[in-house]
């Protein structure tokens, strides 16, 4: 691949030695593509609508610019004040802007006030202060707690300065695209005036200095540390991304209409722009991070700047396009890994990036996006990198039925970027791979169907690149089990349609790579929603509340004890296949489970479908400590707790939970307590105008227990990942804490059954213990309103157990199901034997098996991963080979 890319680069760049050659635009699209892009806008409804959206957004700004050309440029964040047009800025030891020196002949671009995020977003562009000489910004609370506009001092503005300039540059970027399509100069003038203000204001600014080396480097032009050119973090140094696009589309126009100040510089627009873009590139190549998302995002910021440069021989230092691009495609350095080494980070078995989904899911779209930019320039980085395509599809296993990413670690949630599927579809189409292209088209259509993706609102890149969708069925592929060992994370699903899909996640904790010390945690799903989600409404990594959200208190787990570290799998079915990531066989269409241990904790979660539209989850949580708190957060407007006769428990206020288990317990507010050792039902209700969803938790009783209800912090800052935005900030989240003291929870575990349903459609009639006081055996019966009676059996040893005087069991987990007196199925998730009422499945060789025996449509059917012995109605056992869905 190396020789191929170098050959392509040498051929490609030998074609262009002078700035007058027709090499622009070069990002995603070439000038030769103009006719086909215009044709697409005219003939493809989605492209036409997307184009109209861009035009409708930009046209009012462009029309105003004709009458008031200073309105938009005056809203850029600059050092406007004469005498304070700084050319050199300094960072203090807290990584905040400290002071500036020098005075440029033009206003210079303002540096962000601080590295950290704050809790404010900018007011609308129309309300921002023109010619803002102080840098103080008008802001609104991002959490939604307060809609009041507040003046934020410059040194407390977080990322507001950068976002202000980026927003204006993005308007210019879109206007530059409209000019390229229409050749109407009003669009070019609007974009060019913004570009000139930004480019000249950047030209005169030297890179930030960091005398205290708070960013692990001195700044300036010296290597090392995280400091960017125009941000404290090089991975946020992204105003250049839009600026390069503006320059690319307006390349000829800018040369035909040069800014008067260029004469004072004695430089052409190409020369002056080259100084600015190369400054970003040169600093980007020696700053930021060599590994992980820092490395990838660092290249994302500078690649556009590389692509708009001229060939090497245009520049006195000999450093142009073909000099810089191999630093991404080939040459790993002390400061950054190149693409071949980047691809080694993805797990070879799973295709997943090692960080949390919020970061991991962003990496492969970024790499593929950069690949498409290079592909447009004749450099194919995808062809010899099969891991790129594997990584794209791997992320599908992290999506729920609505197409949202599972949430664990540092992240907000929301949909996976469908743009990467569009990119892959485009690539496959151009490479003539019709079958692969159709698979991607089906995924895209499913995203549209789910409302997670709107092709009618694509950006200019999509208008230029994306292909028509074939007339295919919409499909979002899924696996019954997906297990990432690196992330200590298991997902199990049963179905993938929004109304009836079931899904849970079970995972351990980690530290680093944006993963969390979340304990041995669980989430369950219903109607496509994570109804018991991990909370993710933190303001920023630097805010005080981050400890609550990043720790075990924001998760569904047990405290104290294990929060992070290695896990071991005691049993899982469907089992992960030889691919090392997901299942290739299915034992039971109704049942699945995962049982994992971590330090003193052991947790088994099972999923049981009782009809096409109903089912429940079982949680058996053991903890080898005498004092334990079981934490469970669920979506809802209210939480009620009842005894098994549906009468409310009497709770008392004024009890403090204390913070001996975790300091973040201080975030649990309004505790109410009921001392209660018997079985109980906790009920969360969402009763907004558009949603009527109920979750019941049935918990078996134990001695020395107290049941607390508390108001926990918000679940999310987003309005789209909970039904009707319930528990979104500033709303609290109703949370249950069951405290068990002086009663070891390994011998006396927390045993719960969960069901989520539309109001009035509960299917569980009763839950009760069968075996409760045996340290190594837990068994319960779940009765459903459709007549199903199911024994749920879990054991932590390898002994044979008589369960409830009826069933015999030897193994880790099993379910027996009868409908009235009639046999339904036996499910041996992992074990050696299960028998009940004359029906029996047993390992033929005495080893653990995963097997099921079903009676359906008047016929017996079995599945087993190994040879199995089966007995029907006390008949003599017969031997059957391993296989799936086989009739007896």
Q: Could you report the per-residue pLDDT of 679-729, keeping only the tens digit for each?
A: 999 999 998 868 899 999 999 999 999 999 999 999 999 989 999 999 999
Residue with tokens 């990467």: 420
Q: What is the pLDDT of residue 542?
A: 82
Q: What is the pLDDT of residue 16?
A: 38
Cα→Cα distances 392→122, 359, 442, 449, 605, Å: 34, 14, 15, 20, 29
Band of pLDDT at residue 6, cut at 50, 70 and 90: very low
Position 661 pLDDT exceeds 50: yes
Q: What percent of the chain is predicted at pLDDT more than 70?
A: 97
Position 18 pLDDT exceeds 60: no
Average pLDDT on 561-579 reads: 96
Band of pLDDT at residue 20, cut at 50, 70 and 90: very low
Q: What's the chain's average pLDDT?
A: 94
Band of pLDDT at residue 10, cut at 50, 70 and 90: very low
Cα→Cα distances 856→451, 769, 782, 825, Å: 37, 28, 21, 9
Average pLDDT on 153-162 reads: 95
Q: Could you report the per-residue pLDDT of 606-650, keeping only the tens digit for each?
A: 999 999 999 999 999 999 999 999 999 999 999 999 999 999 999
Q: What is the dihedral of CA 161, 164, 167, 169, to 10 degrees?
A: -70
Q: What is the pLDDT of residue 59?
A: 98
Least confident of 12-16, 726-730, 856-860: 12-16
Q: What is the pLDDT of residue 687?
A: 87
Q: What is the pLDDT of residue 792?
A: 98
Measure the CA–CA gap between 268 and 270, rounded to whole angstroms. 5
Tell me phi and psi for residue 435, to 5 degrees.
-60, -50
Tell me phi and psi for residue 852, to 5 degrees.
-145, 145
- Taking alpha carbons only, the member of 756, 746, 777 closest to residue 504 is 756
Helical axes 386-394 vs 357-376, angle rounded to 10°: 140
Q: What is the pLDDT of residue 540?
A: 83
Q: Could you report the per-residue pLDDT of 90-99, keeping only the tens digit for each?
A: 999 999 999 9
Token pair of 843 as six digits? 């390992």
Q: What is the pLDDT of residue 13?
A: 44
Average pLDDT on 274-290 reads: 97
Vertex 188 angle, CA 183 and 192, to 5°: 155
Q: What is the pLDDT of residue 520?
A: 97
Position 566 pLDDT exceeds 80: yes
Does the reported pTM lie above 0.85? yes
Q: What is the pLDDT of residue 271?
A: 98
Q: What is the pLDDT of residue 655?
A: 83
The radius of gyration of the chain's CA atoms, rounded to the nearest angstrom, is 30
Q: What is the pLDDT of residue 12?
A: 43
Q: Output the CA torsion sign for 804, 806, 812, 813.
A: negative
Say how many C-beta atoms besides its own lie within 10 A of residue 153's C-beta.
Answer: 11
Q: What is the pLDDT of residue 14?
A: 41
Q: Could you report the per-residue pLDDT of 164-212, keeping only the tens digit for each?
A: 999 999 999 999 999 999 999 999 999 999 999 999 999 999 999 999 9
Measure the CA–CA gap between 410 and 198, rounded to whole angstroms. 33
Band of pLDDT at residue 377, cut at 50, 70 and 90: very high
Measure the CA–CA gap between 58 and 833, rounded to whole angstroms. 69
Q: What is the pLDDT of residue 558?
A: 97
Q: Exposed, middle or buried by CB within 10 Å (0-12, 13-18, 19+), for 547?
A: middle
Number of helical (H) and strand (E) elements in the chain, helices listed first: 20, 38
Measure the CA–CA gap between 338 and 322, rounded to whole angstroms. 15
Instruction: Catalogue the E-assigned strands of 29-96.
Output: 78-79, 88-91
Residue 454 per-residue DSSP state:
-
Measure the CA–CA gap between 328 and 342, rounded to whole angstroms. 10
* N residues, the chain: 888
429: three-class secondary structure by DSSP: helix
The runs of H, that is alpha helices, within 751-861 are none
Band of pLDDT at residue 328, cut at 50, 70 and 90: very high
Measure the CA–CA gap between 861 and 723, rounded to whole angstroms. 39
Position 808 pLDDT exceeds 90: yes
C-alpha atoms less than 13 angstroms from C-alpha of 106 in its C-beta half-sphere: 19
Position 11 pLDDT exceeds 70: no
Token pair of 659 as six digits? 């913070």
Band of pLDDT at residue 5, cut at 50, 70 and 90: very low
Cα→Cα distances 597→487, 509, 629, 792, Å: 15, 12, 17, 19
Strand order in the sheet with 529-530: 481-484, 489-494, 502-507, 521-526, 529-530
Q: Could you report the per-residue pLDDT of 467-487, keeping only the tens digit for each?
A: 999 888 888 889 999 999 999
814 touches 828 (CB < 8 A) = yes
Q: What is the pLDDT of residue 476?
A: 82
Q: Could you report the per-residue pLDDT of 485-532, keeping only the tens digit for each?
A: 999 999 999 999 999 999 999 999 999 899 999 999 999 999 999 999
Least confident of 101-105, 673-677, 688-692, 760-764: 688-692
Segment (H or E) for 71: helix 70-73
Measure the CA–CA gap between 103 and 86, rounded to whole angstroms. 5
Position 4 pLDDT exceeds 70: no
Measure the CA–CA gap between 394 and 372, rounded to whole angstroms. 19
Q: What is the pLDDT of residue 788?
A: 97
Strand order in the sheet with 638-642: 568-573, 591-598, 601-611, 614-623, 750-758, 692-699, 680-687, 638-642
Band of pLDDT at residue 543, cut at 50, 70 and 90: confident
Say how many C-beta atoms besides its own lie within 10 A of residue 648's C-beta.
Answer: 11
Residue with tokens 């005080």: 544
Q: What is the pLDDT of residue 735?
A: 98
Say how many C-beta atoms besides its own lie within 10 A of residue 123's C-beta.
Answer: 17
- Taking alpha carbons only, the member of 301, 412, 400, 289 closest to residue 359 is 412
The β-bridge relationship of strands 733-740 and 481-484 is unpaired
Residue 786 per-residue DSSP state:
T
Q: What is the pLDDT of residue 774?
A: 83
- Taking alpha carbons only, the member of 27, 36, 32, 35 closest to residue 467 is 36
Residue 218 per-residue DSSP state:
-
Q: Output the CA torsion sign for 564, 569, 574, 578.
A: positive
Measure the CA–CA gap between 874 and 864, rounded to whole angstroms. 20
Q: What is the pLDDT of residue 539?
A: 82
Say how many C-beta atoms besides its own lie within 10 A of residue 481's C-beta.
Answer: 24
Q: What is the pLDDT of residue 806?
A: 92
715: three-class secondary structure by DSSP: coil
Beta bridge partners of 399: 405
- Taking alpha carbons only, the member of 502, 497, 702 closest to residue 608 is 502
404 touches 721 (CB < 8 A) = yes
List CB contacts of 649: < 8 A, sequence separation 6 or more: 641, 642, 643, 674, 676, 680, 707
Tell me phi and psi for residue 162, to 5 degrees.
-60, -45
Position 8 pLDDT exceeds 70: no
Token pair of 81 as six digits? 């004040």
Average pLDDT on 531-541 reads: 91
Token pair of 726 as six digits? 């319930």
Q: Could you report the per-residue pLDDT of 387-409, keeping only the tens digit for each?
A: 888 898 899 999 999 999 999 99
Residue 635 per-residue DSSP state:
-
Token pair of 595 as six digits? 């049982």
Q: What is the pLDDT of residue 2?
A: 46
C-alpha atoms less than 13 angstroms from C-alpha of 760 in its C-beta half-sphere: 2
Band of pLDDT at residue 859, cut at 50, 70 and 90: very high
Q: What is the pLDDT of residue 471?
A: 83
């Amino acid at each position: 691949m190396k020789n191929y890319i170098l050959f392509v680069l040498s051929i490609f760049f030998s074609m262009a030695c002078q700035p007058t050659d027709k090499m622009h635009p070069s990002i995603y699209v070439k000038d030769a593509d103009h006719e086909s892009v215009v044709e697409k806008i005219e003939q493809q409804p989605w492209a036409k609508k997307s184009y109209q959206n861009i035009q409708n957004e930009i046209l009012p700004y462009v029309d105003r610019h004709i009458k008031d050309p200073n309105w938009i440029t005056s809203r850029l964040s600059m050092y406007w004040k004469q005498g304070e047009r700084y050319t050199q800025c300094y960072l203090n030891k807290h990584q905040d802007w400290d002071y500036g020196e020098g005075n440029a002949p033009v206003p210079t671009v303002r540096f962000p006030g601080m590295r950290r995020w704050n809790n404010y977003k900018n007011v609308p562009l129309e309300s921002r202060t023109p010619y803002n000489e102080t840098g103080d910004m008008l802001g609104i609370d991002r959490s939604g707690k307060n809609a009041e506009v507040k003046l934020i001092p410059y040194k407390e503005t977080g990322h507001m300065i950068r976002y202000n300039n980026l927003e204006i540059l993005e308007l210019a970027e879109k206007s530059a695209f409209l000019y390229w399509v229409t050749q109407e100069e009003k669009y070019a003038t609007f974009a060019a005036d913004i570009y000139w203000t930004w480019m000249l204001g950047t030209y005169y600014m030297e890179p930030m200095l960091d005398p205290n080396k708070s960013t692990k480097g001195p700044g300036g032009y010296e290597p090392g540390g995280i400091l960017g050119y125009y941000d404290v973090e090089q991975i946020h140094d992204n105003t250049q991304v839009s600026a390069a696009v503006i320059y690319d589309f307006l390349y000829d126009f800018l040369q035909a209409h040069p800014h008067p100040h260029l004469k004072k510089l004695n430089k052409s627009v190409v020369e002056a722009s080259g100084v600015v873009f190369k400054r970003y590139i040169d600093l980007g190549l020696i700053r930021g991070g060599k590994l992980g998302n820092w490395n990838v995002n660092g290249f994302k910021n500078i690649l556009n700047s590389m692509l708009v440069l001229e060939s090497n021989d245009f520049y006195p230092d000999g450093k142009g396009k073909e000099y810089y691009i191999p630093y991404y495609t080939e040459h790993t350095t002390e400061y950054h890994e190149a693409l071949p080494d980047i691809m080694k980070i993805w797990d070879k078995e799973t295709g997943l990036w090692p960080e949390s989904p919020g970061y991991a899911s962003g990496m492969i779209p970024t790499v593929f996006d950069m690949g498409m930019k290079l592909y447009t320039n004749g450099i194919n980085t995808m062809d010899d990198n099969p891991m790129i395509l594997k990584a794209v599809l791997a992320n599908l296993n992290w999506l729920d039925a609505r197409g949202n990413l599972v949430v664990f670690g540092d992240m907000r949630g929301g949909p996976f970027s469908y743009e990467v599927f569009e990119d892959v579809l485009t690539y496959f189409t151009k490479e003539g791979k019709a079958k692969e292209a159709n698979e991607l088209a089906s995924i895209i259509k499913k995203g549209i169907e789910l409302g997670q993706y709107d092709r009618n609102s694509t950006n200019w890149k999509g208008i230029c690149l994306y292909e028509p969708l074939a007339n295919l069925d919409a499909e979002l592929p899924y696996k019954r089990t997906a297990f990432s060992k690196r992330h200590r994370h298991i997902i199990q699903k049963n179905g993938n349609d929004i109304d009836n899909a079931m899904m849970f996640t079970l995972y351990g904790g980690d530290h680093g790579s944006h993963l969390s010390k979340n304990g041995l945690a669980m989430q369950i799903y219903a109607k496509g929603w994570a109804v018991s989600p991990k909370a993710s409404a933190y303001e920023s990594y630097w805010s005080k509340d981050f400890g609550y959200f990043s720790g075990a208190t924001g998760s569904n787990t047990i405290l104290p004890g294990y929060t992070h570290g290695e896990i071991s799998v005691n049993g899982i079915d469907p089992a992960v296949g030889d691919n090392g990531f997901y299942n290739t066989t299915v034992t039971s269409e109704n049942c699945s489970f995962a049982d994992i241990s971590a330090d003193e904790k052991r947790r088994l979660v099972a999923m049981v479908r009782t009809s096409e539209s109903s089912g429940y989850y079982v949680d058996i949580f053991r903890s080898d400590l005498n004092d334990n708190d079981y934490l469970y957060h669920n979506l809802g407007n209210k939480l009620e707790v009842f005894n098994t006769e549906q009468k409310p428990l009497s709770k008392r206020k004024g009890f403090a939970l204390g913070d001996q288990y975790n300091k973040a317990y201080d975030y649990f507010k309004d505790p109410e307590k009921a001392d209660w050792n018997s079985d109980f039902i906790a009920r969360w209700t969402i009763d907004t105008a558009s949603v009527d969803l109920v979750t019941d938790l049935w918990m078996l009783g134990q001695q020395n227990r107290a049941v607390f209800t508390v108001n926990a912090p918000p679940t999310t800052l987003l309005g789209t990942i909970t039904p009707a935005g319930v528990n979104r900030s500033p709303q609290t989240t109703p949370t249950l804490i069951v405290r068990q003291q002086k009663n070891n929870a390994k011998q006396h575990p927390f045993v719960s059954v969960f069901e989520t349903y539309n109001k009035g459609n509960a299917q569980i009639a009763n839950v009760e213990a069968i075996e409760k006081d045996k340290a190594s055996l837990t068994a319960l019966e779940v009765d459903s309103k459709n007549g199903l009676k199911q024994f749920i059996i879990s054991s932590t040893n390898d002994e044979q157990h008589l369960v409830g005087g009826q069933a015999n069991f030897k193994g880790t987990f099993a379910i027996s199901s009868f409908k009235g007196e009639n046999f339904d199925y036996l499910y041996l998730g992992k074990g050696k034997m299960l028998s009940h009422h004359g029906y029996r499945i047993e390992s033929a060789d005495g080893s653990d098996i995963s097997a099921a025996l079903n009676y359906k449509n008047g016929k017996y059917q079995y599945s087993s991963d190994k040879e199995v012995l089966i007995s029907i109605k006390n008949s003599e056992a017969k031997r059957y080979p391993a296989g799936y869905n086989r009739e007896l």
